[in-house]
Structure 1
Amino acid sequence: MVFFSVVVPTYNRRPILEKCLRALEQQQISAETAIAGYEVVVVDDGSTDGTVDWLKAQASEFPHVRLFEQDHQGPARARNLGVQQAQGDTIIFIDSDLVVTPPFLQAHATGLEKGRQRLGSDRCFTYGAVINTCNFDNPTAEPFKVTDFSNAYFATGNVAIARHWLETAGLFDTAFQLYGWEDLELGVRLKNLGLKLIRCPEAVGYHWHPPFSLEQIPKLIDQESQRGRMGVLFYQKHPTWEVRLMIQMTWLHRLLWGTLSLGGFLNERTLRPLLAWLLKRDRPQLALEIARIFLNWNNVRSVYAAYRESQGLASS
Structure 2
Amino acid sequence: MRFEHLDLNLLVALDVLLDECNITRAAERLNMTQSATSGVLRRLRLFFEDDLLVQVGRKMQPTPYALQLQKPVREVMLKIRSNIINKRTFDPATAVRHFRIASADFIITVLLQDVLREIQSEAPGLTFEIMTPFLLTVERGEVDFVLVPQRYTVEGHPSELLFEEEHVCVVCANNPLVGDTISFEQYIEMGHVSVGFGSRQLSIEDWFMKQYDVKRRIEVISNDFNTLPQLVLGTNRIATMHKRLAEYYAQYLPIRILPTPVELPVMREHIQWHRALENDPLHSWVRHKIQSAAARL
TM-score range, shorter chain: under 0.3
1 or 2, which has the higher strand percentage? 2
Whichever of the two has the greater Rg, that structure is 2
Q: Normalising by structure 1, report the TM-score.
A: 0.24
Q: More relative contact order in 1 or in 2 (CA 8 Å, sep 6+)?
A: 2
